Amino acid sequence: MDAGPTERTGPTVQLVMGDITIQQVDAIVNAANSTLMGGGGVDGAIHRAAGPELREHCQRLGGCDTGDAKITPGFRLPARWIIHAVGPMWRGGDRGEPDLLSSCYRRSLELADEVGASSIAFPAISTGVFGFPIDAAARIAVTRVSTTPTRVTDVHFVAFDQATWNAYDTLLRADGDERG
């Protein structure tokens, strides 16, 4: 019988500058589009690094709704799993975007729990071409990760640029988490 996620204050969180595709974690999260077939930014980088097997596998998944996530093997990545989370396009913030983004982080942790992942790396979902303001997105990410019951013990927020680093650093510094 599965006891489910344990109630706790949350996993250890680290802020990392760099490439999410090389993170030494059990699962990485892909900021995917609804087709799951690859795209630009983080999504394209993950698809290129994982190899053509990822695209073939994603073709069988039938896409993914905004605010939800699906999981695939990591194929050629160091991570065993890729969790494809479809964040919302920013349309001013009054069309449910914050709730949908929060749902991406919650669903990613749920899927990580389902496969027994104890470590996970997140990009800044929806902040690239989807246009979500980085400060608001970082606040949602940090809050959801710290309040979602999970067996994940180690979370990396991976910043690709200085603006993303700064947004997360400000929040995590207040919480006393690590930056690497």
List active site positions: 43
In this structure, which amino acid lies at residue 8? Answer: R
Q: Contact, 11 vs 154, CB < 8 A?
A: yes
What residues have CB less than 8 Å from 157, skipping those under 6 apart?
13, 14, 15, 16, 121, 122, 124, 138, 141, 142, 168, 172
Question: Which H helix or E strand runs over 110?
Answer: helix 97-115
Q: How many helices (H) and strands (E) does the chain have?
A: 5, 7
Rounded Cα distance between 107 and 115, Å, is 13
